[in-house]
Protein backbone atom coordinates (compact mmCIF):
# COMPACT_ATOMS: atom_id res chain seq x y z
CA UNK A 1 0.00 0.00 0.00
CA UNK A 2 1.40 3.38 -1.03
CA UNK A 3 2.02 6.20 1.41
CA UNK A 4 3.10 9.81 1.05
CA UNK A 5 5.95 11.47 2.88
CA UNK A 6 5.15 15.17 2.89
CA UNK A 7 7.80 17.74 3.80
CA UNK A 8 5.72 20.76 4.79
CA UNK A 9 6.53 24.43 5.23
CA UNK A 10 6.97 25.47 1.59
CA UNK A 11 4.40 28.00 0.30
CA UNK A 12 2.83 26.69 -2.92
CA UNK A 13 3.26 29.14 -5.72
CA UNK A 14 2.37 28.99 -9.40
CA UNK A 15 -0.31 27.93 -11.88
CA UNK A 16 -2.22 24.65 -11.65
CA UNK A 17 -4.50 23.13 -14.30
CA UNK A 18 -7.68 21.54 -12.96
CA UNK A 19 -8.64 18.10 -14.26
CA UNK A 20 -12.07 16.91 -15.39
CA UNK A 21 -14.74 16.28 -12.80
CA UNK A 22 -14.83 12.79 -11.28
CA UNK A 23 -18.43 13.26 -10.21
CA UNK A 24 -19.50 14.35 -13.68
CA UNK A 25 -17.47 11.70 -15.51
CA UNK A 26 -18.83 8.75 -13.51
CA UNK A 27 -22.57 9.21 -14.14
CA UNK A 28 -21.90 10.11 -17.79
CA UNK A 29 -19.72 7.02 -18.22
CA UNK A 30 -22.45 4.91 -16.63
CA UNK A 31 -25.15 6.46 -18.85
CA UNK A 32 -23.08 5.84 -21.98
CA UNK A 33 -23.75 2.09 -21.66
CA UNK A 34 -27.31 2.91 -22.74
CA UNK A 35 -26.33 5.09 -25.70
CA UNK A 36 -27.01 3.99 -29.28
CA UNK A 37 -23.57 3.88 -30.87
CA UNK A 38 -20.22 5.22 -29.71
CA UNK A 39 -19.59 7.80 -26.97
CA UNK A 40 -16.30 9.71 -26.84
CA UNK A 41 -15.55 11.52 -23.59
CA UNK A 42 -12.87 14.20 -23.28
CA UNK A 43 -11.32 15.52 -20.03
CA UNK A 44 -12.00 12.31 -18.08
CA UNK A 45 -9.33 12.14 -15.36
CA UNK A 46 -7.20 9.01 -14.87
CA UNK A 47 -8.62 7.90 -11.51
CA UNK A 48 -9.15 4.62 -9.72
CA UNK A 49 -12.89 5.30 -9.70
CA UNK A 50 -12.89 5.67 -13.51
CA UNK A 51 -10.94 2.41 -13.80
CA UNK A 52 -13.36 0.68 -11.43
CA UNK A 53 -16.48 1.85 -13.27
CA UNK A 54 -14.89 0.91 -16.60
CA UNK A 55 -14.32 -2.58 -15.23
CA UNK A 56 -18.00 -2.72 -14.19
CA UNK A 57 -19.06 -1.66 -17.69
CA UNK A 58 -16.90 -4.34 -19.27
CA UNK A 59 -18.71 -6.97 -17.21
CA UNK A 60 -21.91 -5.57 -18.70
CA UNK A 61 -20.83 -6.17 -22.29
CA UNK A 62 -19.54 -2.63 -22.85
CA UNK A 63 -16.21 -1.84 -24.53
CA UNK A 64 -14.34 0.98 -22.76
CA UNK A 65 -10.88 2.15 -23.76
CA UNK A 66 -8.79 5.28 -24.06
CA UNK A 67 -7.76 6.21 -27.58
CA UNK A 68 -4.43 7.74 -28.59
CA UNK A 69 -5.77 11.22 -27.85
CA UNK A 70 -6.76 10.29 -24.30
CA UNK A 71 -10.47 10.24 -25.12
CA UNK A 72 -12.48 7.63 -23.24
CA UNK A 73 -14.32 5.65 -25.94
CA UNK A 74 -17.41 3.65 -24.93
CA UNK A 75 -19.60 1.37 -26.98
CA UNK A 76 -22.14 -1.23 -25.84
CA UNK A 77 -21.26 -4.44 -27.66
CA UNK A 78 -24.23 -6.45 -26.41
CA UNK A 79 -27.29 -6.14 -24.22
CA UNK A 80 -26.09 -8.58 -21.63
CA UNK A 81 -25.01 -9.53 -19.04
CA UNK A 82 -26.95 -7.11 -16.85
CA UNK A 83 -25.33 -7.94 -13.53
CA UNK A 84 -23.04 -5.49 -11.70
CA UNK A 85 -21.35 -7.74 -9.18
CA UNK A 86 -20.61 -7.01 -5.54
CA UNK A 87 -16.88 -7.64 -6.07
CA UNK A 88 -16.63 -4.42 -8.10
CA UNK A 89 -19.57 -2.34 -6.83
CA UNK A 90 -18.22 -2.58 -3.26
CA UNK A 91 -15.10 -0.76 -4.49
CA UNK A 92 -17.10 2.24 -5.55
CA UNK A 93 -20.59 3.30 -4.59
CA UNK A 94 -21.06 5.31 -7.79
CA UNK A 95 -21.32 1.98 -9.67
CA UNK A 96 -24.98 2.24 -8.65
CA UNK A 97 -25.23 4.78 -11.50
CA UNK A 98 -25.57 1.89 -13.96
CA UNK A 99 -29.02 1.08 -12.58
CA UNK A 100 -31.01 3.68 -14.51
CA UNK A 101 -29.19 3.20 -17.84
CA UNK A 102 -29.51 -0.62 -17.66
CA UNK A 103 -33.19 -0.42 -16.84
CA UNK A 104 -33.90 2.13 -19.54
CA UNK A 105 -31.98 0.52 -22.39
CA UNK A 106 -32.21 -3.19 -21.50
CA UNK A 107 -35.30 -3.40 -19.26
CA UNK A 108 -33.41 -5.32 -16.61
CA UNK A 109 -30.70 -4.72 -14.02
CA UNK A 110 -29.16 -6.70 -11.18
CA UNK A 111 -26.83 -4.40 -9.28
CA UNK A 112 -25.16 -5.11 -5.98
CA UNK A 113 -26.11 -2.78 -3.18
CA UNK A 114 -23.09 -0.52 -2.56
CA UNK A 115 -20.99 -1.38 0.46
CA UNK A 116 -20.43 0.65 3.61
CA UNK A 117 -18.76 4.01 3.53
CA UNK A 118 -16.62 5.99 5.95
CA UNK A 119 -18.53 9.21 5.44
CA UNK A 120 -21.82 7.96 6.77
CA UNK A 121 -25.02 6.08 6.01
CA UNK A 122 -25.64 6.03 2.27
CA UNK A 123 -28.93 4.35 1.37
CA UNK A 124 -30.30 4.26 -2.18
CA UNK A 125 -34.00 4.21 -1.28
CA UNK A 126 -34.64 7.40 -3.28
CA UNK A 127 -33.06 5.86 -6.41
CA UNK A 128 -35.26 2.78 -6.08
CA UNK A 129 -38.42 4.75 -5.33
CA UNK A 130 -37.81 6.91 -8.39
CA UNK A 131 -37.26 3.94 -10.72
CA UNK A 132 -40.32 2.17 -9.30
CA UNK A 133 -42.36 5.34 -10.01
CA UNK A 134 -41.40 4.91 -13.68
CA UNK A 135 -43.07 1.50 -13.59
CA UNK A 136 -40.10 -0.74 -12.84
CA UNK A 137 -40.48 -3.77 -10.62
CA UNK A 138 -37.73 -3.23 -8.02
CA UNK A 139 -36.80 -5.87 -5.46
CA UNK A 140 -33.90 -6.48 -3.07
CA UNK A 141 -32.52 -10.01 -3.24
CA UNK A 142 -29.44 -11.30 -1.40
CA UNK A 143 -27.70 -7.93 -1.37
CA UNK A 144 -28.65 -7.05 -4.92
CA UNK A 145 -31.15 -4.66 -6.43
CA UNK A 146 -33.16 -6.60 -9.03
CA UNK A 147 -35.08 -4.25 -11.31
CA UNK A 148 -37.13 -5.16 -14.39
CA UNK A 149 -39.42 -3.21 -16.68
CA UNK A 150 -40.99 -4.29 -19.96
CA UNK A 151 -41.59 -0.59 -20.56
CA UNK A 152 -41.27 2.61 -18.54
CA UNK A 153 -43.96 5.26 -18.17
CA UNK A 154 -43.36 8.95 -17.45
CA UNK A 155 -44.30 9.96 -13.90
CA UNK A 156 -44.18 12.73 -11.31
CA UNK A 157 -41.30 11.87 -8.95
CA UNK A 158 -40.04 13.66 -5.85
CA UNK A 159 -36.44 12.92 -4.81
CA UNK A 160 -36.31 14.76 -1.48
CA UNK A 161 -34.62 12.82 1.29
CA UNK A 162 -33.85 13.70 4.92
CA UNK A 163 -30.55 15.32 3.86
CA UNK A 164 -31.88 17.00 0.74
CA UNK A 165 -31.88 15.58 -2.77
CA UNK A 166 -29.71 12.80 -4.18
CA UNK A 167 -27.10 13.54 -6.83
CA UNK A 168 -26.63 10.05 -8.29
CA UNK A 169 -30.29 9.28 -7.63
CA UNK A 170 -31.27 12.20 -9.87
CA UNK A 171 -28.81 10.89 -12.47
CA UNK A 172 -30.30 7.38 -12.36
CA UNK A 173 -33.92 8.51 -12.62
CA UNK A 174 -33.21 11.18 -15.26
CA UNK A 175 -31.40 8.70 -17.50
CA UNK A 176 -34.07 6.00 -17.15
CA UNK A 177 -36.80 8.58 -17.85
CA UNK A 178 -35.23 9.19 -21.28
CA UNK A 179 -36.66 5.77 -22.23
CA UNK A 180 -40.09 6.25 -20.59
CA UNK A 181 -43.25 6.88 -22.59
CA UNK A 182 -44.48 10.42 -21.92
CA UNK A 183 -43.29 13.14 -19.61
CA UNK A 184 -41.45 12.69 -16.32
CA UNK A 185 -41.22 15.55 -13.83
CA UNK A 186 -38.61 15.19 -11.10
CA UNK A 187 -39.15 17.58 -8.20
CA UNK A 188 -36.53 18.06 -5.46
CA UNK A 189 -33.98 17.15 -8.13
CA UNK A 190 -30.27 17.66 -7.36
CA UNK A 191 -28.96 20.90 -8.94
CA UNK A 192 -25.24 20.05 -8.88
CA UNK A 193 -23.23 21.03 -11.99
CA UNK A 194 -22.38 17.34 -12.46
CA UNK A 195 -26.08 16.51 -12.88
CA UNK A 196 -26.37 19.35 -15.40
CA UNK A 197 -23.34 18.02 -17.29
CA UNK A 198 -24.98 14.58 -17.54
CA UNK A 199 -28.15 16.23 -18.89
CA UNK A 200 -26.06 18.09 -21.48
CA UNK A 201 -24.56 14.77 -22.60
CA UNK A 202 -28.00 13.12 -22.81
CA UNK A 203 -29.58 16.07 -24.66
CA UNK A 204 -26.70 16.15 -27.14
CA UNK A 205 -27.65 12.56 -27.97
CA UNK A 206 -31.30 13.42 -28.57
CA UNK A 207 -32.81 13.33 -25.08
CA UNK A 208 -35.26 16.11 -24.20
CA UNK A 209 -34.46 17.29 -20.69
CA UNK A 210 -35.32 20.76 -19.38
CA UNK A 211 -35.09 22.58 -16.07
CA UNK A 212 -31.33 21.97 -15.92
CA UNK A 213 -29.74 23.37 -12.75
CA UNK A 214 -33.09 23.75 -11.04
CA UNK A 215 -34.83 21.40 -8.63
CA UNK A 216 -37.60 20.68 -11.16
CA UNK A 217 -36.31 18.64 -14.10
CA UNK A 218 -38.63 17.57 -16.94
CA UNK A 219 -37.85 14.72 -19.31
CA UNK A 220 -39.89 14.08 -22.47
CA UNK A 221 -39.38 10.34 -22.97
CA UNK A 222 -38.01 9.20 -26.32
CA UNK A 223 -36.41 5.92 -27.31
CA UNK A 224 -33.24 6.86 -25.50
CA UNK A 225 -30.25 8.78 -26.84
CA UNK A 226 -27.31 8.38 -29.17
CA UNK A 227 -23.66 8.29 -28.18
CA UNK A 228 -21.91 11.61 -28.78
CA UNK A 229 -18.59 13.31 -28.17
CA UNK A 230 -18.69 15.22 -24.87
CA UNK A 231 -16.19 17.19 -22.82
CA UNK A 232 -16.57 16.65 -19.08
CA UNK A 233 -16.68 19.84 -16.97
CA UNK A 234 -13.73 20.78 -14.75
CA UNK A 235 -13.69 19.34 -11.24
CA UNK A 236 -14.95 22.03 -8.84
CA UNK A 237 -14.03 19.92 -5.81
CA UNK A 238 -10.46 19.50 -6.99
CA UNK A 239 -10.35 23.23 -7.71
CA UNK A 240 -11.47 24.06 -4.18
CA UNK A 241 -8.93 21.59 -2.78
CA UNK A 242 -6.06 23.23 -4.69
CA UNK A 243 -7.12 26.76 -3.71
CA UNK A 244 -7.17 25.74 -0.05
CA UNK A 245 -3.76 24.09 -0.44
CA UNK A 246 -2.38 27.42 -1.65
CA UNK A 247 -3.89 29.30 1.27
CA UNK A 248 -2.90 26.75 3.94
CA UNK A 249 0.75 26.98 2.89
CA UNK A 250 0.71 30.79 2.75
CA UNK A 251 1.26 30.57 -0.97
CA UNK A 252 0.03 32.20 -4.16
CA UNK A 253 -1.84 29.87 -6.55
CA UNK A 254 -3.65 30.40 -9.83
CA UNK A 255 -5.94 27.67 -11.14
CA UNK A 256 -6.54 27.23 -14.87
CA UNK A 257 -9.47 25.60 -16.64
CA UNK A 258 -12.08 26.10 -13.94
CA UNK A 259 -15.70 27.26 -14.02
CA UNK A 260 -15.69 29.93 -11.27
CA UNK A 261 -19.49 30.01 -11.05
CA UNK A 262 -19.37 26.35 -9.88
CA UNK A 263 -17.39 27.55 -6.84
CA UNK A 264 -19.25 30.69 -5.76
CA UNK A 265 -20.04 29.54 -2.22
CA UNK A 266 -16.45 28.37 -1.65
CA UNK A 267 -14.93 31.58 -3.01
CA UNK A 268 -17.30 33.61 -0.85
CA UNK A 269 -16.18 31.94 2.38
CA UNK A 270 -12.49 32.24 1.41
CA UNK A 271 -13.04 35.98 0.92
CA UNK A 272 -14.92 36.19 4.24
CA UNK A 273 -11.85 34.59 5.87
CA UNK A 274 -9.70 37.35 4.40
CA UNK A 275 -8.16 35.66 1.39
CA UNK A 276 -7.44 37.56 -1.80
CA UNK A 277 -9.53 35.93 -4.55
CA UNK A 278 -9.40 37.12 -8.15
CA UNK A 279 -11.41 35.60 -11.00
CA UNK A 280 -10.31 36.13 -14.60
CA UNK A 281 -12.28 34.09 -17.14
CA UNK A 282 -11.48 30.43 -16.48
CA UNK A 283 -8.78 31.15 -13.89
CA UNK A 284 -8.95 31.79 -10.15
CA UNK A 285 -6.03 33.41 -8.31
CA UNK A 286 -5.74 33.26 -4.51
CA UNK A 287 -3.27 34.29 -1.86
CA UNK A 288 -3.44 35.39 1.75
CA UNK A 289 -1.78 38.58 2.95
CA UNK A 290 -1.66 37.18 6.51
CA UNK A 291 -3.43 34.74 8.85
CA UNK A 292 -7.06 34.17 7.87
CA UNK A 293 -10.01 34.74 10.19
CA UNK A 294 -12.29 31.93 11.35
CA UNK A 295 -15.70 31.74 9.70
CA UNK A 296 -18.35 29.14 10.59
CA UNK A 297 -20.04 27.31 7.74
CA UNK A 298 -22.63 24.71 6.84
CA UNK A 299 -21.97 22.16 4.09
CA UNK A 300 -25.15 21.63 2.06
CA UNK A 301 -26.41 20.75 -1.42
CA UNK A 302 -25.48 22.98 -4.39
CA UNK A 303 -25.26 25.92 -4.65
CA UNK A 304 -24.13 25.82 -1.01
CA UNK A 305 -20.68 24.88 0.25
CA UNK A 306 -20.14 21.29 -1.00
CA UNK A 307 -19.84 18.50 1.55
CA UNK A 308 -16.90 17.29 -0.58
CA UNK A 309 -15.01 20.46 0.42
CA UNK A 310 -15.98 20.34 4.11
CA UNK A 311 -12.90 18.45 5.30
CA UNK A 312 -10.54 20.70 3.35
CA UNK A 313 -12.19 23.88 4.67
CA UNK A 314 -12.08 22.45 8.19
CA UNK A 315 -8.34 21.92 7.75
CA UNK A 316 -7.97 25.54 6.61
CA UNK A 317 -9.89 26.72 9.69
CA UNK A 318 -7.40 24.96 11.98
CA UNK A 319 -4.92 27.71 11.06
CA UNK A 320 -7.36 30.64 11.11
CA UNK A 321 -7.69 33.14 13.94
CA UNK A 322 -10.64 32.42 16.26
CA UNK A 323 -13.29 29.73 16.58
CA UNK A 324 -15.53 28.29 13.87
CA UNK A 325 -18.45 25.90 13.95
CA UNK A 326 -18.73 23.43 11.08
CA UNK A 327 -21.94 21.56 10.22
CA UNK A 328 -22.36 19.06 7.39
CA UNK A 329 -26.04 18.82 6.47
CA UNK A 330 -25.41 16.25 3.72
CA UNK A 331 -23.25 13.75 5.64
CA UNK A 332 -23.62 14.69 9.34
CA UNK A 333 -20.97 12.15 10.37
CA UNK A 334 -18.33 13.13 7.81
CA UNK A 335 -15.71 14.07 10.42
CA UNK A 336 -13.22 11.18 10.47
CA UNK A 337 -10.52 13.72 9.58
CA UNK A 338 -10.83 15.45 12.98
CA UNK A 339 -8.78 13.01 15.13
CA UNK A 340 -6.05 12.90 12.49
CA UNK A 341 -5.93 16.71 12.29
CA UNK A 342 -5.70 16.72 16.09
CA UNK A 343 -2.62 14.49 15.85
CA UNK A 344 -1.03 17.34 13.89
CA UNK A 345 -1.78 19.82 16.66
CA UNK A 346 -5.13 21.10 15.44
CA UNK A 347 -7.57 22.16 18.18
CA UNK A 348 -10.73 20.51 16.85
CA UNK A 349 -13.66 18.99 18.71
CA UNK A 350 -16.59 16.91 17.54
CA UNK A 351 -19.82 18.67 18.53
CA UNK A 352 -23.50 17.91 18.17
CA UNK A 353 -24.13 17.76 14.41
CA UNK A 354 -20.65 18.96 13.49
CA UNK A 355 -17.33 20.24 14.78
CA UNK A 356 -15.80 23.18 16.62
CA UNK A 357 -12.46 24.42 15.26
CA UNK A 358 -10.19 26.69 17.32
CA UNK A 359 -7.42 28.18 15.18
CA UNK A 360 -3.80 27.53 16.19
CA UNK A 361 -0.62 29.25 15.00
CA UNK A 362 0.76 26.24 13.17
CA UNK A 363 0.38 22.51 12.77
CA UNK A 364 3.14 19.98 13.40
CA UNK A 365 4.20 17.12 11.15
CA UNK A 366 2.97 13.67 12.20
CA UNK A 367 2.16 10.22 10.83
CA UNK A 368 -1.57 10.20 9.93
CA UNK A 369 -4.04 7.85 8.30
CA UNK A 370 -6.44 8.62 5.46
CA UNK A 371 -9.99 7.35 5.94
CA UNK A 372 -11.81 8.51 2.82
CA UNK A 373 -11.19 10.52 -0.33
CA UNK A 374 -11.76 14.05 0.92
CA UNK A 375 -10.40 13.45 4.43
CA UNK A 376 -7.13 12.31 2.82
CA UNK A 377 -7.03 15.53 0.82
CA UNK A 378 -7.56 17.54 4.01
CA UNK A 379 -4.70 15.70 5.75
CA UNK A 380 -2.41 16.24 2.75
CA UNK A 381 -3.11 19.96 2.86
CA UNK A 382 -2.48 20.06 6.62
CA UNK A 383 0.83 18.21 6.17
CA UNK A 384 1.90 20.64 3.45
CA UNK A 385 1.42 23.50 5.92
CA UNK A 386 3.19 21.80 8.86
CA UNK A 387 6.94 22.14 9.44
CA UNK A 388 8.68 18.78 9.08
CA UNK A 389 7.99 15.40 7.49
CA UNK A 390 4.52 13.90 7.81
CA UNK A 391 3.53 10.43 6.68
CA UNK A 392 0.08 9.96 5.11
CA UNK A 393 -0.89 6.29 4.87
CA UNK A 394 -3.65 4.67 2.76
CA UNK A 395 -3.26 7.16 -0.09
CA UNK A 396 -5.29 4.78 -2.22
CA UNK A 397 -8.20 6.85 -0.96
CA UNK A 398 -6.65 9.88 -2.64
CA UNK A 399 -5.99 8.05 -5.91
CA UNK A 400 -9.72 7.41 -6.22
CA UNK A 401 -10.46 11.06 -6.84
CA UNK A 402 -7.29 13.04 -7.63
CA UNK A 403 -5.10 12.34 -10.64
CA UNK A 404 -1.36 12.37 -9.79
CA UNK A 405 -1.96 15.01 -7.14
CA UNK A 406 1.52 14.72 -5.67
CA UNK A 407 3.14 15.48 -9.04
CA UNK A 408 0.92 18.46 -9.68
CA UNK A 409 1.53 19.91 -6.24
CA UNK A 410 5.26 19.31 -6.67
CA UNK A 411 5.11 21.52 -9.77
CA UNK A 412 4.18 24.46 -7.52
CA UNK A 413 6.61 23.69 -4.71
CA UNK A 414 4.99 20.87 -2.77
CA UNK A 415 7.45 18.28 -1.44
CA UNK A 416 5.62 14.94 -1.58
CA UNK A 417 7.12 11.45 -2.13
CA UNK A 418 5.03 8.41 -2.94
CA UNK A 419 6.61 5.31 -1.31
CA UNK A 420 5.73 1.86 -0.10
CA UNK A 421 6.29 0.96 3.56
CA UNK A 422 9.35 -1.05 2.53
CA UNK A 423 10.80 1.87 0.55
CA UNK A 424 10.19 4.17 3.49
CA UNK A 425 11.99 1.88 5.90
CA UNK A 426 14.97 1.72 3.53
CA UNK A 427 15.12 5.45 2.93
CA UNK A 428 17.16 7.85 5.09
CA UNK A 429 15.40 11.22 5.73
CA UNK A 430 18.13 13.11 3.88
CA UNK A 431 17.49 10.93 0.78
CA UNK A 432 13.76 11.51 0.72
CA UNK A 433 13.82 14.67 -1.35
CA UNK A 434 17.26 14.49 -2.86
CA UNK A 435 17.53 15.18 -6.61
CA UNK A 436 18.08 11.55 -7.57
CA UNK A 437 15.11 10.31 -5.53
CA UNK A 438 13.10 8.17 -8.00
CA UNK A 439 9.55 9.32 -8.80
CA UNK A 440 7.11 6.42 -8.63
CA UNK A 441 4.00 6.15 -10.72
CA UNK A 442 0.76 5.86 -8.80
CA UNK A 443 -0.01 2.19 -9.16
CA UNK A 444 -3.63 1.25 -9.47
CA UNK A 445 -5.40 -1.31 -11.54
CA UNK A 446 -8.71 -2.98 -11.11
CA UNK A 447 -9.43 -6.57 -11.97
CA UNK A 448 -12.94 -7.28 -13.02
CA UNK A 449 -14.21 -10.78 -12.19
CA UNK A 450 -13.87 -11.78 -15.87
CA UNK A 451 -10.32 -10.64 -16.27
CA UNK A 452 -8.95 -12.07 -13.02
CA UNK A 453 -6.00 -14.31 -13.71
CA UNK A 454 -5.59 -12.92 -17.21
CA UNK A 455 -4.87 -9.34 -18.08
CA UNK A 456 -5.17 -6.82 -15.28
CA UNK A 457 -7.01 -3.76 -16.46
CA UNK A 458 -4.50 -0.97 -16.63
CA UNK A 459 -5.45 2.42 -15.26
CA UNK A 460 -7.62 4.33 -17.72
C1 LIG B 1 -22.61 12.23 -4.76
O2 LIG B 1 -22.81 11.06 -3.98
C3 LIG B 1 -21.11 12.40 -4.90
N4 LIG B 1 -20.55 11.23 -5.58
C5 LIG B 1 -20.48 12.54 -3.52
O6 LIG B 1 -19.08 12.76 -3.70
C7 LIG B 1 -21.09 13.74 -2.83
O8 LIG B 1 -20.58 13.86 -1.53
C9 LIG B 1 -22.62 13.58 -2.76
O10 LIG B 1 -23.15 13.37 -4.09
C11 LIG B 1 -23.30 14.78 -2.17
O12 LIG B 1 -23.06 15.90 -2.94
C13 LIG B 1 -20.69 11.13 -6.92
O14 LIG B 1 -21.29 11.97 -7.55
C15 LIG B 1 -20.07 9.93 -7.58
P16 LIG B 1 -26.40 11.72 -2.52
P17 LIG B 1 -24.28 10.42 -3.83
O18 LIG B 1 -27.23 10.62 -3.07
O19 LIG B 1 -25.06 10.69 -5.05
C20 LIG B 1 -28.88 10.63 1.35
C21 LIG B 1 -16.79 12.40 -3.36
O22 LIG B 1 -16.07 12.60 -2.37
N23 LIG B 1 -29.57 9.68 0.45
O24 LIG B 1 -26.52 13.08 -3.13
O25 LIG B 1 -24.12 9.02 -3.38
C26 LIG B 1 -27.42 10.26 1.56
O27 LIG B 1 -27.27 9.36 2.63
C28 LIG B 1 -18.15 11.78 -3.18
O29 LIG B 1 -16.49 12.70 -4.54
C30 LIG B 1 -30.69 9.02 0.90
O31 LIG B 1 -31.12 9.19 2.04
O32 LIG B 1 -24.87 11.29 -2.64
C33 LIG B 1 -26.80 11.60 1.87
O34 LIG B 1 -26.97 11.91 3.22
C35 LIG B 1 -18.43 11.41 -1.73
N36 LIG B 1 -31.31 8.14 0.06
C37 LIG B 1 -27.59 12.58 1.01
O38 LIG B 1 -28.83 11.90 0.71
C39 LIG B 1 -30.87 7.93 -1.22
O40 LIG B 1 -31.49 7.13 -1.96
C41 LIG B 1 -26.92 12.96 -0.30
O42 LIG B 1 -26.58 11.77 -0.96
C43 LIG B 1 -29.73 8.62 -1.67
C44 LIG B 1 -29.09 9.50 -0.82
Write out pLDDT tens, residues 230-281.
999 999 999 999 999 999 999 999 999 999 999 999 999 999 999 999 999 9
Instruction: Say which CATH number the domain at 316 has.
Output: 3.65.10.10
Number of domains into which the chain is organized:
2
Distances (CA, A) of 313 to 264, 306, 327: 14, 10, 11
Are residues 147 and 212 located together in one domain of the fold? yes
Are residues 78 and 189 located together in one domain of the fold? yes
Are residues 57 and 14 located together in one domain of the fold? no
**pLDDT band per the 50, 70, 90 thresholds, residue 437:** low
Are residues 38 and 153 located together in one domain of the fold? yes
pLDDT for the residue numbered 447: 42
Are residues 216 and 243 located together in one domain of the fold? no
pLDDT at 289 over 90: no
What spacing in Å lies between the alpha carbon of 292 and ligand 1's midpoint? 30
- Under DSSP, the state recorded for 162 is T
Give the mutation target among 113, 166, 308, 401 for probing the ligand 1 site: most ligand atoms within 8 A of CB.
166
pLDDT at 455 over 70: no
Any atom of ligand 1 within 6 Å of the Cβ of 167: yes
Are residues 358 and 402 located together in one domain of the fold? yes
Write out pLDDT tens, residues 168-182.
999 999 999 999 999
- 427 labelled catalytic: no
Does residue 457 lie within any of the structural domains? no
Q: 195, 215, 233 — which closes off a domain?
A: 233
Q: 233, 254, 276 — which closes off a domain?
A: 233
Mean pLDDT value across residues 410-432: 92
Are residues 203 and 244 located together in one domain of the fold? no
Are residues 222 and 91 located together in one domain of the fold? yes
Any atom of ligand 1 within 6 Å of the Cβ of 307: yes
pLDDT at 445 over 70: no
Would you tell me the crossing angle of helices 236-248 and 264-272 to the nearest 10 degrees? Answer: 20
Q: Closest by alpha carbon to 4, among 451, 447, 427, 326? A: 427
Q: Which domain, by its residues, includes 147?
A: 22-233
Does residue 456 lie within any of the structural domains? no
Are residues 292 and 302 located together in one domain of the fold? yes
Any atom of ligand 1 within 6 Å of the Cβ of 303: no
Share of residues in the chain with pLDDT > 90 (%): 86
pLDDT at 353 over 70: yes
Cα radius of gyration (the chain): 22
What spacing in Å lies between the alpha carbon of 55 and ligand 1's midpoint? 22
Least confident of 192-201, 341-350, 417-426: 417-426
What is the Cα–Cα distance from 418 to 391, expressed in whole angstroms?
Answer: 10
Are residues 213 and 336 located together in one domain of the fold? no
Are residues 146 and 268 located together in one domain of the fold? no
CB contact burial 280-299 (16+ within 10 A = b; e otherwise): eeebbbbbbeeebebbbbbb
What spacing in Å lies between the alpha carbon of 330 and ligand 1's midpoint? 8
Pairing of strands 156-158, 252-256: unpaired
Any atom of ligand 1 within 6 Å of the Cβ of 310: no
Q: Closest by alpha carbon to 293, among 266, 263, 315, 272? A: 272
Mean pLDDT value across residues 291-319: 98
pLDDT for the residue numbered 443: 59
pLDDT for the residue numbered 450: 44
pLDDT for the residue numbered 200: 98
Which of 117, 171, 178, 427 is flagged as catalytic? Answer: 117
What is the Cα–Cα distance from 200 to 221, expressed in whole angstroms?
Answer: 15
pLDDT for the residue numbered 312: 98
Any atom of ligand 1 within 6 Å of the Cβ of 26: yes
pLDDT for the residue numbered 280: 98
Amino acid sequence: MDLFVIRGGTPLSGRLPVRGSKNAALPILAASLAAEGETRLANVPALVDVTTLSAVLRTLGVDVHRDADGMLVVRSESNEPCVAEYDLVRKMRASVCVLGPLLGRRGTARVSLPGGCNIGHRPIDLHLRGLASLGADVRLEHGYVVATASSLLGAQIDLAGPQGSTVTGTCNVMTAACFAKGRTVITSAAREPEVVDLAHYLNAGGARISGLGTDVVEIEGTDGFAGVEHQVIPDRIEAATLLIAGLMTGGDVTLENVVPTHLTAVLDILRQMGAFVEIRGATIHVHAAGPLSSVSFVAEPYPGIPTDVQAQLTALLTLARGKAEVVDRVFPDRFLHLPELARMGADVRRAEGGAHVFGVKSLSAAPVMASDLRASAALLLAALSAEGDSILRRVYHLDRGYERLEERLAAVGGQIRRLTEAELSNCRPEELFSDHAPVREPHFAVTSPKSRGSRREQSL
